[in-house]
Amino acid sequence: MDEAAKIIAQFGLQPLPAEGGWFRQTWAAPAADPDGRPAGTAILYLITRDGFSALHRLRMDEVWHFYAGDAVRLVELDPATGQAGAVRLGADPLAGQQPQHVVRADVWQGARLAGQNGRGWALLGCTLVPGWDQRDFAMANRRDLLAQFPQAEADIVALTR
């Protein structure tokens, strides 16, 4: 069994529908509103060489945490400014890698391993406040994003299905 499969088994991770990768919710705060939505949630998230986090957006800020494995390229496309950019999540701050990064609400985001060499996986965490609610999630449409962010064509093609 390879390392990624061992991590999936150890943490009981499941495939994440639509977005891709493997995940398990590890924390949900008590309900904070009349709909029963938790005040906050956290997940463990695994990206492998064969997968990626497809471009999506949330109505709230999301905090990404890097735990182990290969560095990750986290792409952001901001509809409010028209800006496209990326950060590198990883364990080597002296090489410009970030152990944590906040993606602001309504910014398109997607991630994949930063390179093809290495261990072939990255273990991350994501925290949301308020907590996860499917109504706050939208998958990207490749054609729409290409029209809005032509400068990010390579990332959009790589991070959409």
Domains in the chain with CATH codes:
3-158 (2.60.120.10)
The residue type found at 133 is D
Taking the C-alpha atoms of residue 161 and residue 158, their distance in angstroms, rounded to an integer, is 8
pLDDT in tens, the chain (161 residues): 699 999 999 999 999 999 999 999 999 999 888 888 999 999 999 999 999 999 999 999 999 999 999 999 999 999 999 999 999 999 999 999 999 999 999 999 999 999 888 899 999 999 999 999 999 999 999 999 999 999 999 999 999 99
Q: What is the pLDDT of residue 1?
A: 64
SS (H, E, C) the chain: CCHHHHHHHHHCCEECCCCCCEEEEEEECCECCCCCCECCEEEEEEEECCCCEEEEEECCCEEEEEEEECCEEEEEEECCCCEEEEEEECCCHHHCCECEEEECCCCEEEEEECCCCCCCEEEEEEEECCCCCHHHEEECCHHHHHHHCHHHHHHHHHCCC
Instruction: Name every residue whose Cβ is closer than 8 Å to that of residue 67 and which is 6 or more positions away in sequence.
Output: 44, 123, 124, 125
Task: Please give the model's pTM, rounded to 2 decimal places.
Answer: 0.95
Residue 123, strand partner residues:
46, 68
How far, in Å, CA of 47 to CA of 70, rounded? 9
Could you read off the pLDDT of 4-41 as tens digits, one per residue? Answer: 999 999 999 999 999 999 999 999 999 888 888 999 99
